[in-house]
Each structure stands twice: as structure tokens, then as C-alpha cells.
Amino acid sequence: MVDNPCRLGPVELAPGVRPLHAGSFLFAAFIGISLTTFISVIQPYVLTVQIDLAVDKQGQVSGDMVFYSEIVVLLLSAAVGTLADRFGRRGIFAVGALILGIGYSLFGYVDSVTTLTAARIFLAFGIAIVNVLVQAVQADYPAENSRGKLVGLTGFAIGIGAVLIGVVFSRLPYWYVDAGMDELAAGRNTMLTMAGLALLLAILIRLGLKGGRPPQPDQPTPFTRSMLHGLRAGRQNARIALAYGSAFVARADLVVVGTFFTLWLNQTAIAAGMSPDDAVRAAGGFFALAMSSALIWAPIAGFINDRLDRTRAMALAMLLCAIGYSVMGLISDPLGGWMYPAAILLGIGQMSAITASQTLIGQQASAVNRGSIIGMFSFFGAAGVMFITSVGGRIFDSISPAAPFVLVGFINLVLFIAAILISRLPDQQQVTEPTT
């Protein structure tokens, strides 16, 4: 007997998925992505207060930290996805949250570029696990006709988390200083606060998400072969390849905003005479504006993704993202009035790219090997972050703080053209289990 499908608001859920599971997932995405993103927002404070690094070196160090972190994500993503296919989503997801908690605890004691690098690499293990599992669970839980809606709601939840970063978490150092702590102690207590939040996330995942393993292949497949299935799927299916290409830039969109957007604003604020904690608060305000626009746009993007052919929706998303990032190249004063509409466009473009890419990969990846395909999707996302941040950190320092945004805008334009061409090809069946 087949259970009637449950619903969470407008989202029809896959068989066996209950509203409690889906609601817990949305809350886990809200907290989890906040934890994976906040480190880029608070890093300028760490560089200035805990390490006392010269301003003219912060761009390259910031880019290098993301680069090292993404090496870990690059190496782990396929393995994490395959482990989630073999052993289930819930346990692996909870382990990732616990690693984030330990990583944030370590970050409070960073006092040099060397210790910063070590803490950032450790934290990257948790980031890799949480990023892959959010996308895998997001692909598991909806019925196909509601996939875009759940992606939109997930984007909405993540957007709320990003706003929370801007209006609450980024101000924690200021509040701790206002409570009588010195700036160093304020930074340490901020990190311990985030570690406690990660522990709460692990408990939520364990109690609220659906247990058990996803569907298994008829014949057991060697672990390494399962890991490589995601790569073979991209060769066989042009739409999966397009999703991988979009992942190359879509995850980088979020990191570029979190790293270079906040660093640009932070440096400008300090140059204008603000204290480090006031500078973090000013940068957090514009970051919150960009994330608020992404938050409002997320359900609209989800509706578009369910109404349009998923590849054409991808083309539209890449165009919006190209416009949003390219506009940043026209900004001369990041604390001036023109930054307000630019931040709004940035948020819309970023959310369009994220929701379209995740909806497309969720549609094209089969349930049996979804984790390995999602893992490869994250692999390409990490590769994009490594490329854009390593190059971006250098052009941030040597050309202009707006240069990383123009670079991302150009890559999105290339993907827009690719999406238009692929949309004219006949759709292919989902790539299922590896051939033996």
C-alpha cells in the first residue's frame, strides 16, 4: 500500500517524508548554512583584532583562506555524497554539525596566519559535510512537481539565516564589547556562541530528520566506483554537466559576497575612521540588505523553476546573476547611496543562480545515486570557489575591490549562453546506477 503524499504548505512531499522531516530540514538549512557562511563574514575581524594583520595583506590572506578551505571541500565532496548514499543522510549530517562546533571553538584562539589556516582547514571538514547534505536532503524530500518550491523555501530559509548573520551574528563582537569585554575577548566569545549553535544544530538533525538509508542499487558497487559515478553522469547528460558548470559559479557567488563584499566594506569603514567592531557592524548592514533581497526573491525563483523548463530557468538565472555582479564594477563608494540598489541586485542574482542550479541537479539525479551526483555537484562548486577566490584575492588587492564581482559576472554570462544552447537539446533520462 502506498501512502498518500504529505504536504508542507505548497510543497508536495515524496513518499515516506513527513511534514516534521521537511520542517526540521528547513530549520537545519537555516542554521547550517548560516554557520558555514559566517566564518567569511567574521574573518576580517579576526584578521584585524586577533592577528593584527596589515590591511594591504588582508585581501590575499582572505582569498588564500577560502582557497585552502575549498581544497578540503573539493577532496571530500564526492566521498561525503557516497557515504550519505551508503549509510543515510541523518547521521552524516549530524557529524558535520559537530565538526563545525569544534571548528568555531578553535577559531576563538587563532592568533597568527598559521593558526588561522589550521582552524579554517578543520572547519572546512564540517562545511563540506553540511553543504553536501543540505543539497542531498533537499533533493530527497519533494515530489518532482514541487522540487522548485522546496528549493525556493530552502533558499528562503537560508536567506533568513544570512540576514541573521548581518543583523545579529555580525554584531556579536560589538555587543560583547558594549558589555565590557575587550575586542579580543569579544571575538573569542563570538566564536564560542557559534559553537553552541552548531551543537544545537546537531541535536535538531538527529531528532528531526528522516532516518534510514536512501534506495540502494540492486548490485553492490565498490565505493570508489560509486564516487566516480557523478563524473560519468556529467559526461552522459548535458543538463547534469550544465548543473555542474552552474555549481562552479553559484557557490562562489555566496563566498564572494561573504568574503570580498564584507572585506571591501570593512576596509572602507576602517579607512573612514570607524573602529573594527563598528566596521563589522556597517559591513553587516549591507550584507543583510543583499541577503534580504535574496530572501524575498527565493520563493519567486522557486515558482519560476517549477513553471519553466528547468534549463531555460537556468538561463534566466545566469543572466540575472551576470547583471547583479557586473553592476558592482560601477560602484566607487561602497558606503554610498548607490550600494543600496547594487546590493539588492546582487542578492537577486545570487539566489537565482543557487535555486536554478539546485533544482536542475535534483531533477536530473536519480534517487539511487543522488548522493554521489550531489557530491560531484559540490566538487565543482568547490573548484569554482578555489578559482574565483584565489584569483579574486589578488585582483582585489592589485586592481580594484570590485574586480572579483566583475569576474563572477563574466562567468555567469558564459553559462547563460551555454544554458540557451543546451535547452535546445532533447531532455535525457536520469542517469541511474553505475554500470557494472
Residues facing 37 on adjacent strands: none
- pTM for this structure? 0.77
C-alpha cell at 156: 528562503
CA gap 205, 24 in Å, rounded: 7
> What is the rounded distance in angstroms from the CA atom of residue 126 to the CA atom of residue 331?
35
Q: How far apart are CA 239 and CA 221, in angstroms?
A: 25
* 137-151, 169-183, 245-259, 300-314: least confidently modelled range: 245-259
pLDDT at 27: 93
Q: What is the mean pLDDT of residues 362-368?
A: 77
- pLDDT at 219 > cutoff 70: no
CA distance linking residue 382 with residue 388, whole number of Å: 10
DSSP H or E run through 33: helix 19-45
Band (88; pLDDT cuts 50, 70, 90): confident
How far is 69 from 141, CA to CA, in rounded Å?
29
Q: How confident is the model at residue 433 (pLDDT cuts 50, 70, 90)?
A: very low
* Number of residues in the chain: 436
Instruction: Provide the H-helix boundaries in 141-182.
Output: 147-167, 172-178
Number of other CB atoms surrounding residue 5 within 10 Å = 15
Q: Once rounded to an integer, what is the mean pLDDT over residues 377-394?
A: 81
Beta bridge pairs of residue 11: 8
Residue 365 backbone phi and psi in degrees, to 5:
-85, 130
| Averaged pLDDT score across all residues of the chain | 84
Domains plus CATH for the chain? 13-210+223-423 (1.20.1250.20)
- pLDDT score for 231: 79
Instruction: Give the three cell numbers for residue 235.
Output: 559526461
Average confidence (pLDDT) over 181-189: 91
d(CA 199, CA 148): 30
Of 57, 354, 29, nearest to 164 by C-alpha is 29
CA separation for the pair 418, 254 (Å, rounded):
22
Rounded alpha-carbon distances, angstroms, from residue 398 to 272, 330, 394? 21, 17, 6
> Which helix (H) or strand (E) is 254 found in, with range?
helix 238-256
Q: Which of 85-89, 129-133, 260-264 has the highest mean pLDDT?
A: 129-133
Neighbours of 362 (CB within 10 A): 27
Grid coordinates belonging to 195: 559553537
Asked if 422 contacts 85 with a C-beta cutoff of 8 angstroms, the reply is no
Quick check: 345 and 203 in contact, CB under 8 A?
A: no
pLDDT at 203: 95
CA-CA distance, 307 to 319, in Å (whole number)? 18
Q: How far apart are CA 47 and CA 320, in angstroms?
A: 33
Q: Is the pLDDT of residue 26 over 60?
A: yes
Q: Cell 576596509 belongs to which residue?
A: 267
Band (pLDDT 50/70/90 cuts) for residue 215 is low
Cα angle for residues 42, 43, 49 (degrees, 5° grid): 95
Mean pLDDT value across residues 129-136 = 91
| Alpha carbons within 13 A on the beta-carbon side of 289 | 18
∠ CA 145-429-418 to the nearest 5 degrees?
Answer: 85
Terminal alpha carbon distance of the chain? 32
For CA atoms 259, 265, 268, 269, give the dihedral sign: negative
CA-to-CA distance for 32 and 158, rounded, in angstroms?
8
The per-residue pLDDT for range 228-252, each reduced to its tens digit, is: 777 788 888 889 999 999 988 887 7
Burial 367-384 (b: 16+ CB within 10 A, else e): ebbbbbbbbbbbbbbbbb
Residue with the bigger pLDDT between 268 and 174: it is 174
Site of grid cell 533537499? 138
- The grid coordinates listed for 270 are 576602517
